[in-house]
Amino acid sequence: MAAFVLLENGPEMVASWINLSAGVQVNGTPAFEAAHGKDIWSYAVGDESFSKLINDAMACGARVVTVPAIIKGCPEVFDGVGSLVDVGGGNGTASGLLVKAFPWIRGINFDLPHVVCDAEQSHGVENVGGDMFQSIPITDAIFIMQVLHDWGDDECIEILKKCREAIPKDNGKVIIVETIMEEEENLGDELKSVRLKIDMAMMAHTDKGKERTLKEWDYVLGQAGFSRHNAKHIRAVHSVIEAYP
């Protein structure tokens, strides 16, 4: 988890915490922007080392905790999936792990061009550059992990609409991996605390990002045109939401 620790304790992220008060004021400037003059994604485009640190940190969490928990906890969500686009997949770690676990899947790691140019080369995975707000490669299913929490509802709905456009209407689906801010009997106090900390990090590091309750997921998925969805809890702080056109 070294990359994650380095990211969260680096000068860029610490400065956003120091400026958190600016972000919580009415009509205030988001904390990261108050510290650096631009949002985190624009800043990353102009700072190659910071961009790499973000991708390494996300890959670390995917490799060590989240993707193994998904593979073990709900492998059935990948049944019948021939092709899978990982939207915002960073350096391709998640795609590589999923294709290795489910070798019948043809994986596509999809992220901004400056991100995928440094992506890992994994058997069965193609790295494709693009903008999720413009279009997403056509596929059987979409995997989107810890991306939607970076955005406000309007942007989240826009991304989800592009996801829905990229999958078949009859049997396509979007596999969302995010924290669900709900009271759950099978989760202990430790995980509840972690979810709260992640929500606060979204407040400090993004403009409008947040963790969502199940009711809030119902809203954004409905607004994006999905007909139904279900949530599955895994042995991790995140849950898996399957959304259908």
- Please give the positions annotated as active site: 149, 178, 211
The CA distance from 60 to 110, in Å, is: 18
CA distance 218 to 1: 32
The angle formed by the CA atoms of residues 97, 199 and 207, to the nearest 5 degrees, is 95
In angstroms, the CA 237 to CA 194 distance is 7
Angle of CA points 219, 131, 234, to nearest 5° = 50
DSSP character at residue 148: G
Q: Which of 68, 49, 70 is nearest to 6 (CA)?
A: 49
| Nearest Cα to Cα of residue 175 among 34, 49, 91, 74 | 74
Q: Annotate 67-107 with DSSP letters as a single string.
A: HHHHHHH-GGGGTT-SEEEEET-TTSHHHHHHHHHSTT-EE
Strands (E) in the chain, as ranges, are 83-87, 106-111, 125-129, 141-145, 173-178, 228-233, 239-244
Question: To which residue do tokens 């592009």 refer?
Answer: 162
Q: How far is CA 21 from CA 38, 99, 148, 200, in A?
A: 17, 43, 24, 12
